[in-house]
Structure 1
């Protein structure tokens, strides 16, 4: 599906930005959302200290409960922002595949796949809105889940939309960052925090033949 766009939304992206992004795309789109800020806020409220390893959240059974509840809440918000065309899909129910990473607990590394429920939703001219839990259930990074779906579905583009302007290299916003350079910078530890899984996902998408863009809520036409 070369005309397909996978749109990855951060947990804090506003409803207006979601609608604007979809209007700019103007074609078939699969939405994958995160819920990182909501998960961290709820863990803090419950007195659970968040632990991350290269952008991935260490997930115990207790943390997984928070992740599931947060994904459900954000999924409802995103679907409400999109309107009647939206179709809520839970990754763990539709066959989102992942290889477990035991060192991180109930965490998986997503594998390229094309769940039938997503393809059927697109064929019905709906907008599938996917919560990125994998079968198990396993907690998977939403950026990596979006990239795996983009490759599996044969999407033409993947857009990572968040509240950050993009990738900063030596203090300047990078307009173009070749996959080889991004991978080398990641290996050298040049990046840290939430941008790491986005870059990892973007590189994987590019290696799988999908054009990747990382940026704020303004989506290129």
Structure 2
């Protein structure tokens, strides 16, 4: 049997091994968890369905319970064009006439068959090789009409009334992927056209899902044009209200905060145009999209004993390359009360220690470290502000640091160059002339 492994992997397997070890905790944490994943019909129009199905199949193989909700906007528009029917919208919603509803049903039916067909692939030399994944669709959604709003009758446009939670959970328990179209049914047999993000939010809320994931062609970006990594419910609500009605990203953002407010722990808006974005968002700590939670997951606090391992993981590489003075585990344990940490989602991303010199009204900020993968995201500035506040609270008037590599950063943040003679007497006696650390001092009162 010939090997198909790339030569680079054979010659240097270390990055792959490290990556696999890095994702293992996520695989363990996500097993048996329920994910509701929604995507628009644009993804299918662009020929990206197979990639998504492969990634979803990988999640399923890892033991995750998957509900998929597909959209159909471009396919509906195509069907309407074939029938010579103009689209009508009001308040950001489609007005669904009887003729439009037929186009909606045609588009959704064809899409559902296409998605099921891709999941049925099991060809050798594809990511689906050897897979056996069943996809189940059905009348799981009970809906009601939007009705008349501001004098406009939305006809067959509806909103979700109820999700058949028991039936969906039964299918998930049997190992099926549940596929939902943006259609709902009334007890009298009527069919209603629904919003894909609204369906996804309702399903996630009523299933008590662990995650709602919405794939969007637009990113949530801040003033610096960089993706916003995290929002709480109130921030998400405020941002959504500033967006135009009918804007898909607004619908995703609204669905996210509503789901989180209803008890879903986390919602994610993920840039579908990034290859493998679903996997990158789930298996990388910082992800590639925007996560919405009830409360922001980042905390700045004084260190506890359980943080010891995380601190060691941060500072050991810096001790080994000489950036920090080596402490050793026992010394670190005794000095732990001096430390503060930045924690995000139970991962320590930054630390610093505050050593007091009360007779001189000075404190030393030492062991200042930020995870290399998170540098440039403002964590250092937040840690510095926290340490200054902690020092002021203890009555110190000056904060000083000794550094061999970060002189520019401290100058940029209000420190002034100092001399050994400016240090407290006890620190002056301990100064290591071989390291020749630069001294920077900042007045904080």
TM-score interval, normalised by the smaller of the two chains:
0.7 to 0.9
Partner Cα separation in structure 2 for residue 64 and residue 190 of structure 1? 25
SS in 2 for 1:48: coil
1:192, distance to aligned residue in structure 2 (A): 5.6
1:30, distance to aligned residue in structure 2 (A): 0.7
Q: Tell me what 1:166 maps to.
A: 219
Deviations 1:95-140 (A, max 9, x none): x123321132211122453443322211110111111211131111
Bigger RCO (CA 8 Å, 6+ sep): 1
- Out of 3, 12, 15, the residue aligned to residue 50 of structure 2 is 15
Compared CA separation, residues 191 and 51, structure 1 to 2 (3 A): closer
- Pair member with larger Rg: 2
- Out of 94, 97, 103, the residue aligned to residue 142 of structure 2 is 97
Compared CA separation, residues 159 and 22, structure 1 to 2 (3 A): farther
Partner Cα separation in structure 1 for residue 210 and residue 73 of structure 2? 26
1:76, distance to aligned residue in structure 2 (A): 1.1
Compared CA separation, residues 110 and 2, structure 1 to 2 (3 A): farther
- Which stretch of the first structure deviates more once superposed, 48-57 or 206-215? 48-57
- Which stretch of the first structure deviates more once superposed, 68-77 or 190-199? 190-199
Compared CA separation, residues 206 and 32, structure 1 to 2 (3 A): same
Deviations 1:47-85 (A, max 9, x none): 222223344221111111111111111111111222252
Q: Tell me what 1:88 maps to.
A: 136
| Length, aligned pairs only | 217
- Which ranges of structure 1 fall in alignment gaps of 5 or more residues? none
Q: Tell me what 1:157 maps to.
A: 211
Q: Is the 8 A contact 1:50 1:57 kept in 2?
A: yes
Q: Tell me what 1:127 maps to.
A: 177
1:86, distance to aligned residue in structure 2 (A): 3.1
Partner Cα separation in structure 1 for residue 134 and residue 93 of structure 2? 28
